[in-house]
Amino acid sequence: MKFLWSLLAVFMALSSSAAERKTRNVFLITTDGLRWEEVFNGADQTMFTREYGNISNPTNARAAWWRESAEERRKIVMPFLWNEVAAKGQLWGNRQKKSEVRVSNGRNFSYPGYNEFLTGIADPKIDSNDKKLNWNTNVFEFLNTQPGFQGRVAAVINWDVLPWILNGPRAQFPIWTPFDAPEGTVRLEVPELINDMAERSKTVWANVILDTFISAAAKHTVKTMKPRAMYIQFGETDDWAHDGAYERYLKSAREFDRFIGELWALVQSMPEYRDSTTFIITTDHGRGPAPVAWKNHGANVADSAYMWLAALGPDTPPHGERSETPPITQSQTAATVAAFVGQNFLAASPKSSPPIQGLFVP
């Protein structure tokens, strides 16, 4: 009997915390390989050269991006993050302020990273970017099976491997990709104009398109389908960095930030979302340090394990830029996404890492 009462107490504690939570909708928004250094410090002027950043006019670059303080510089690259999220949400990952967010898969490249934060498992068996269907369960696939979320989950993604990482055929929530998807994937419908323009824009890289079409497809989906859980993936930042084009990397980070601000304004204008929506914003890996290794990442670039994560929503205490935080790993993202909407991802995926404490009211 005593056991039953304690069980009941635990149950009531769990249900009351979920009931008090205001978040009814959750968005996970990522951009590939954006360094914590630019997020927290803004532009690094050592890359304002032809050799290190492919910049032909350093004077113009300095005028556009350089300011004396990191606080001013970072607002140029990511104004929404540093005006809105810093005031009303939280930003983790500034190593200079003893806040560390780490990739824990040891590989520091994309498939292992996307798998880690989408499924909560740093899986040593995932060792390439090959298009193999992921055996791990992702948090959106889980949410799509929960009452109230069935048919209310969607993803809009850029990089061409993600339909395999999300295991489209098994996950069954609709996915928009400008590329092929494995047979059985449910394709998310968007206006033909977006599909047509995306198709014609494959002129820069083989497996990533310009993020402008991701932005258009995602906004259309929010307005029409009104998903309660959505994953949106931007890709440009990683590719401009590999190309060594520092100013384009900065510009694509700024466009990522602008999209987040526009999406936030959009959801606050819709009754389905207003004051009941949380954004989690992060990346799949870091990169090496200035002035050369910033172009790359991987197991042999130790610094590329360090990354960043931000959250904004009605349940996140407004602590802004965090310092002296307990170290967290990217693998905690999946359970955090679920916890915001009162769902326990670990019940379905026991090997996943637990939610990040401190991002929501306990």
The footprint of Zn ion (CB under 5 A) covers: 33, 238
Q: Minimum distance from CB of 158 to Zn ion (Å)? A: 13
Closer residue to Zn ion (CB): 257 or 284: 284
Closer residue to Zn ion (CB): 73 or 285: 285
Establish whether the linkage from the previous residue to 291 is cis, with ω within 30° of 0: yes
Report d(CA 88, CA 193) in Å as an integer: 36
Type of residue at 170: R
Report d(CA 67, CA 288) in Å as an integer: 23
Closer residue to Zn ion (CB): 193 or 206: 206
Q: Minimum distance from CB of 246 to Zn ion (Å)? A: 15
Q: Minimum distance from CB of 131 to Zn ion (Å)? A: 16
Cα dist from 91 to 5, 210, 281, 307, 336, whole Å: 40, 26, 9, 11, 15
Q: Minimum distance from CB of 285 to Zn ion (Å)? A: 7
Report d(CA 267, CA 66) in Å as an integer: 33
Q: Quick check: 209 and 198 in contact, CB under 8 A? A: yes
- CA-based torsion, 80, 81, 82, 88: positive or negative: positive
Measured from each CB, the residue nearest to Zn ion is 238
Closer residue to Zn ion (CB): 74 or 107: 107
Q: Minimum distance from CB of 72 to Zn ion (Å)? A: 29
At 349, list the tokens. 């995926």
Q: Minimum distance from CB of 239 to Zn ion (Å)? A: 7
The rounded radius of gyration (Å) of the Cα atoms in the chain is: 20
Report d(CA 77, CA 38) in Å as an integer: 8
Tell me which residue has tokens 């700024």.
Answer: 254
Closer residue to Zn ion (CB): 112 or 313: 112
- CA-based torsion, 139, 25, 82, 158: positive or negative: positive
